[in-house]
Amino acid sequence: MTKKDSSLRRRFGPTALITGASDGIGRAIAVQLAEQGFDLILVARGRTALRELALDLGVRFGSEVAVIPIDLSAPDAVATILEETKGAQIGLVVAAAGFGSVGPFLHQDMASEINMVDLNCRSVVELAHGFGQRLAQQGRGGIVLFGSLVGFQGAPLSATYAATKGFVQSFAEGLAPELAAQGVNILSVAPAQVGTGFAARAGMQMGKAATPAAVAKGALAALGKRGTVRPGFLAKFLGWSLAMLPRWGRVQIMGIIMKGMAGAQIKENAAQDTKAARPL
């Protein structure tokens, strides 16, 4: 099979590394990059899902696909990835791994919240530093980071997650001008609701969610052209609407939105609180 040699591959290629590649947006980006002729290095926890995806992309698009099954929240995960990719001609890094929680903060499992910070923030900094050095030495490349619409203000009932995404947004904005002079593009992708396995893990009730494929397409179209993209109509509409409000007003609106999304989780927590408060 003759691989496609797209303009995106010629600019950033020939190989892309994608974290969170086994599901959702990461998987959608892997498919679209393979379609554009990239060879891939896929990173996620699920070994079986990664191998199945690698086989599928190889057959469909002729891409060479390597897999690294690893939990990115582990302290030595990024160091392992950097070691295993020595010599690979990586021109594009997509940090799509992440998860969130929804519901009252005091009801959250603290180990899970800390794990979220490790995955959503620490691993992103390590990936950007390690691969940023390689890309800067090459004089070209791109790093795609994933923020969120909730990262532009606090979000009641999703306080930790919103804070991690606020960190990613600020990090991307600060990093972009530093690396631009060395030929490395930084893009922050800030979607609204997306219909992925992420929502199920967070306990969210999704309404008019964007598809992972649409978010992936919007992200790749913006790469090298802007610093932040809000893919999908809902992300653009809410982003514009919220921008008109003071920060405290945006926090209140996000609280209303998150309460609607939390749904059953809030009811379950309230029932547990009522039961615990009953006198013996």
Quote the pLDDT of residue 147: 94
pLDDT, tens digit (0-9, with 9 covering 90-100), for 132-179? 999 999 999 999 999 998 999 999 999 999 999 999 999 999 999 999
* Domain contains 2: no
* Domain contains 176: yes
Q: Which of 241, 262, 258, 242 is nearest to 250 (CA)?
A: 242
* Domain contains 208: yes
SS3 39: strand
Quote the pLDDT of residue 132: 98
Instruction: Look up the CATH number of the domain holding residue 271.
Output: 3.40.50.720
Range of the domain at 64: 7-277
Q: How many domains does the chain have?
A: 1
* Domain contains 206: yes
Q: Which of 129, 212, 115 is nearest to 164 (CA)?
A: 115
Beta strand segments in the chain, E:
15-19, 39-44, 65-69, 90-95, 141-146, 184-189, 228-229
* Domain contains 24: yes
pLDDT, tens digit (0-9, with 9 covering 90-100), for 231-247? 876 777 777 777 788 88
Quote the pLDDT of residue 272: 44
Least confident of 46-55, 97-106, 198-207, 229-238: 198-207
pTM comes to 0.86
